């Protein structure tokens, strides 16, 4: 797989995103960063993540954004469609980072900072 096809999605001030970027740099792996705050959540990418990872693994129920949502809004999130709508309107409820390792990787997407599993997605130099 070409390392240039790695995309990291998240927000720049998230510690997990920072650690993931640092790890990729330490491995000399080029990547593109997609900032949810500046560019929003790409709907087609979100649909791919939901299909591959499931909505429950993408939804960050431990974060500040989730905890600040009214209980009735939290209660409405019960399936992929309702989670998708919430993620599009509140990008900070997406667990971070989401990494797209490229089309040749199986599985193609990971969520969260889990560097112990990442070498299976790439060929380290």
Positions marked catalytic: 14
Q: H/E/C letters for each residue in the chain?
A: CCHHHEEEEECCCCHHHHHHHHHHHHCCCCEEEEEHHHHCCCHHHHHHHHHHHCHHHHECCCCHHHHHCCHHHHHHCCCHHHHHHHHHHCHHHECCCEEECCCCCCCCEEECCCCCCHHHCCCCC
* C-beta separation of 101 from 108 below 8 A: yes
């Amino acid at each position: 797989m070409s390392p240039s096809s790695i995309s990291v999605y998240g927000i720049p001030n998230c510690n997990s995103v920072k650690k993931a970027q640092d790890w990729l740099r330490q491995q000399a792996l080029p990547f593109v960063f997609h900032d949810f705050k500046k560019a929003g959540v790409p709907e087609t990418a979100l649909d791919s993540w939901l299909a591959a990872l499931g909505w429950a693994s993408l939804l960050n129920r431990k974060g500040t954004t989730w905890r600040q949502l009214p209980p009735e809004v939290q209660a409405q999130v019960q399936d992929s469609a309702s989670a998708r709508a919430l993620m599009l309107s509140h990008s900070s409820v997406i667990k971070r980072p989401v990494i797209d390792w490229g089309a040749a990787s199986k599985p193609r997407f990971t969520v969260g900072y889990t560097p112990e599993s990442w070498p299976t997605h790439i060929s380290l130099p």
